[in-house]
Chains A and B, each alone.
Chain A
């Protein structure tokens, strides 16, 4: 697992108040929304801010989020390609 994957899991747990979870509880390819981790639309807005704050990536169309936030893997890929910090 890359550092980025772990870092992402840690910030998601912190940002979304997933108090009982450890980074190891989240699989890299597990769905973050719906039947997987069970995040919802409010979490999606939190994740958009996380991308901008931590990685300098500004999403102009909130609908883009759907693919990017599919799993930790898809998020990490997107961040690798677009990060400005």
Chain B
């Protein structure tokens, strides 16, 4: 399936996939850059939207218009943590009011499929609408479903797919208590190398407009994706080889690999084993020191790979080793979180 348009929001500037610029962020929770939402969304609609909904609608609409599409046949959204800001608000209201006199707005906006439902409402799209929420493979779950839709349903030609996660004060704060966020405050670009547990947590959204057939606007071909819930780090090379062999490919045939190192020394060994092993001679890219970690961040990793295939060049800030490639035809994206929910995505130049 072909990616024909994309848009993303993260803690970095709009054009961060192609520019050399880096926004430095001190502190371990990274907010996404605010975009001019009002250009697209009317104030009467905007007033109830949490950040995830705004980011989702904005990037969804942008990615569609870049592909020249108005209403897709299917909308698939991944979100590991959903609309946390409204969930937190409503939970606090229940406590404060002792279950009395509650207003429904936050509850309505708290369901995990708020973003996909709001996109459908905004675009007036009656088609297939799905929300996957499986930690760090929420986006990969959407890719898998999209691929099946295009294989099995002749009425589906175009699919909008994306992933979005937001932070909220209390709930994200809890991630400091259980070791998901680093105890010591760091500057994002100094995330690597790291010898401590935890990462830096962030917000992001990335949407892609996809079609079954190649079009003149096609930026990349998503050849396949795979989800494996549980892998031991000792098996990771074998699993990657196995995934690539599904497409008759070998690790050395990759022109670059986008790896999800997040500075958590307990789990970065999955990536390091690949970096020092089967991908030792392949150009390796990292991005989480810029964007931070969240359950939807592999969609940003995917956007990075699409951008490389499209522009055939890579800003230095993403390079994790000194290897190079003369041409970028094929890129593997691999990501996991806390050693679980492993996702593999294979992209090719169209």
Chain A residues at the B interface, C-beta cutoff of 8 Å: 15-20, 38, 42, 45-46, 49, 52-53
Please report the C-alpha to C-alpha distance between residue A59 and residue B61 in the assembled complex, in whole angstroms: 41
Please report the C-alpha to C-alpha distance between residue A16 and residue B103 in the assembled complex, in whole angstroms: 10
Query: Shortest Cβ distance from A63 into chain B, in angstroms?
Result: 17
Q: Which of B40-48, B188-196, B227-235 faces chain A? A: B40-48
Cβ contacts A to B, 19 pairs, < 8 Å: A15-B103, A16-B47, A17-B47, A17-B48, A18-B47, A19-B43, A19-B47, A20-B43, A38-B44, A42-B48, A42-B104, A42-B105, A42-B108, A45-B103, A45-B104, A46-B103, A46-B105, A49-B102, A52-B101
Residues of A within 8 A of B104 (CB): 42, 45-46
Residues of B within 8 A of A15 (CB): 103
Please report the C-alpha to C-alpha distance between residue A49 and residue B105 in the assembled complex, in whole angstroms: 12
Query: Shortest Cβ distance from A6 into chain B, in angstroms?
Result: 21
Interface string of B100-120 (1 = CB under 8 A from A): 011111001000000000000
Query: Shortest Cβ distance from B299 into chain A, in angstroms?
Result: 29
Query: Shortest Cβ distance from A50 into chain B, in angstroms?
Result: 8
| B side interface size, CB within 8 A | 10
Chain A's closest residue to B46 (CB) is A19
Given contacts A19-B43, A46-B105, 13 further A-B contacts (CB under 8 A): A16-B47, A17-B48, A18-B47, A19-B47, A20-B43, A42-B48, A42-B104, A42-B108, A45-B103, A45-B104, A49-B101, A49-B103, A52-B101
Please report the C-alpha to C-alpha distance between residue A17 and residue B103 in the assembled complex, in whole angstroms: 13
A-B contact count (CB 8 A): 23
Residues of A within 8 A of B105 (CB): 42, 46
Residues of B within 8 A of A17 (CB): 47-48
Residues of A within 8 A of B103 (CB): 15, 45-46, 49
Residues of B within 8 A of A38 (CB): 44
Please report the C-alpha to C-alpha distance between residue A16 and residue B120 in the assembled complex, in whole angstroms: 23
Please report the C-alpha to C-alpha distance between residue A11 and residue B203 in the assembled complex, in whole angstroms: 32
Please report the C-alpha to C-alpha distance between residue A16 and residue B101 in the assembled complex, in whole angstroms: 16
Q: Would you list the 7 A-B pairs with minimal beta carbon distance, nearest first? A: A17-B47, A49-B103, A46-B103, A45-B104, A38-B44, A20-B43, A49-B101
Query: Shortest Cβ distance from B287 into chain A, in angstroms?
Result: 34
Residues of B within 8 A of A49 (CB): 101-103
Residues of B within 8 A of A46 (CB): 103-105
Q: Which B residues between 59 and 106 are near A, CB-CB below 8 angstroms?
A: 101-105
Residues of A within 8 A of B101 (CB): 49, 52-53
Interface string of B24-67 (1 = CB under 8 A from A): 00000000000000000001100110000000000000000000
Residues of A within 8 A of B48 (CB): 17, 42
Chain B's closest residue to A43 (CB) is B105
Chain A's closest residue to B104 (CB) is A45
Please report the C-alpha to C-alpha distance between residue A45 and residue B107 in the assembled complex, in whole angstroms: 12
Please report the C-alpha to C-alpha distance between residue A44 and residue B130 in the assembled complex, in whole angstroms: 29
Q: Which B residues between 246 and 300 are near A, CB-CB below 8 angstroms?
A: none
Residues of A within 8 A of B43 (CB): 19-20
Please report the C-alpha to C-alpha distance between residue A40 and residue B129 in the assembled complex, in whole angstroms: 24
Query: Shortest Cβ distance from A84 into chain B, in angstroms?
Result: 14
Please report the C-alpha to C-alpha distance between residue A49 and residue B103 in the assembled complex, in whole angstroms: 7
Most A-side CB within 10 Å, residue of B43, B101, B103, B108: B103
Please report the C-alpha to C-alpha distance between residue A52 and residue B103 in the assembled complex, in whole angstroms: 11
Residues of A within 8 A of B47 (CB): 16-19
Query: Shortest Cβ distance from A40 into chain B, in angstroms?
Result: 9
Query: Shortest Cβ distance from A55 into chain B, in angstroms?
Result: 12
